[in-house]
Amino acid sequence: MAIVTDEMRSLIGMESEPRSSEPVSEELLRRFVHAVLEDDPVHWDPRRASESRYGEVVAPPLFPVFAFQRAPGTPDPFEAFAADPDDDGLFDMGRTPGLPLIDLPVKRVLNGGSEARFHRLARVGDVITARSKYVDISERQGGDDNPMVFIRTETTYTNQHDDLLVVVTQTVIRR
């Protein structure tokens, strides 16, 4: 019995509304560089960065993916654990912001991998915009004869000048 319907397949190509970050600040970039243990001074030392081919401090390549912070006044997703310690945290797994959640009768969620194509590095002051779309929704039978649904999304990150920064394709496997 097929799980993926024509209605689900009709979502392929559907694009989210653009969502934009706050301007990249020196503080946000500093915190990110520390968190990922980035040791290249081009990402944190203005003097060394000025001597580089970039001429100024630039963000690490994957920074745009993490530039989006929870908006002030919105609930902390971890608060759900205080109300329900048995919550498995999967309520939103496999969901891409701005795209409708595909309702499937399968419960497990697996990371099927990510691919990134880098074009240019973000800089302090950039406002990063992300647009996501479904690029494929398909189904296969697993080795245990249970269905597996593969959902591929592509998110494009640009700056305020519409310069392409990075394109990330993610695959989520539901089974």
Domain ranges for the chain, please list them: 6-70+90-174
Question: pLDDT over 90 for what percent of the chain?
Answer: 67
pLDDT (tens digit, 9 = 90+) per residue, 134-160? 999 999 987 777 889 999 999 999 999
- Non-local (6+) Cβ contacts of 119 within 8 A are 163, 164, 165, 166, 167
Rounded CA gap, 40 and 138, in Å?
A: 40
Q: Which CATH number fits domain 6-70+90-174: 3.20.20.70, 3.40.47.10, 3.30.230.70, 3.10.129.10?
A: 3.10.129.10
- pLDDT tops 90 at residue 90: no
Instruction: Report residue 71's pLDDT band, with 50, 70 and 90 as the boundaries.
Output: low
Per-residue pLDDT at 47: 95
- Cite the beta strand spans of 1-46 per DSSP E: 19-20
SS3 149: strand
- Token reading at 124: 């302090």
